[in-house]
Structures are given as structure tokens and as C-alpha cells.
Amino acid sequence: MNEPRPAEDTDALHREVEQLRRALETRPVIDLARGALMASFQLSSQDAWNVLVTVSQHSNSKLRHVAEKVLDSINGDPLPRPLQQQLASALGAFRTEPSTPPDKLSTPPTRPDIRQTATE
């Protein structure tokens, strides 16, 4: 019926390989920016990711570009004003509503050993 032709399969595989190559090239930059946001603003890994994605979407910039600019700002280059505003806005949203409630961050109290309590 409408089975893909070998040439279409090959084209699709080439596109997928190219996308994976780009992802492997940009991943370290994005991960470094994520870590910088985590360290600078006491964000969880997920919140730092959400900040980067939010800034990317609201500034109509590629995620890689936002990550590069965040890293450049750590090295002393000024963050472009539009990204600065988007970053401040995104950070404000995540800093007022932490993803993990504070009571969940503490270690739960240990329970006494029931067997030991029963025999005392």
C-alpha cells in the first residue's frame, strides 16, 4: 500500500542523525547554564531547566543561545537587556513557588524499631 520508499527512509534517518548530532553538541552548554542557575539561585535541576525553557520561549530565542548568553554573563559579559528581563521574570516565578515544599526537603524523623519498643 503506501509503504515508505528506501530513499524516504534514508532521508528520514539522515535528518534524525543530524538532529542527534546537534543535540550532542549543544547539550554541554545547556547543562552548564542549568548548573550555573542552580548554583546562583538555589534552584532545583528541573526549575533551572524550566527557567531556561521559559526564557527561550518568551524571548523567541533558541535554548542553546540563551544558555550561551547565561554562561557569557558569568564570564563578565553583560546579558542582553531582553534576556535579562525574561530571566528576571522567569526566576521570580520559580523563586516564589518552589517545586519541592520545604517540609519535604528535611530528613523525615526516624521511627523507633517497633520490635525493640515492644520488648522493652
pTM higher than the cut 0.75: no
Using an 8 Å Cβ cutoff, are 51 and 91 in contact? yes
pLDDT tens-digit series, residues 36-83: 999 999 999 999 999 999 999 999 999 999 999 999 998 899 999 999
Sign of CA dihedral 83, 85, 86, 90: positive
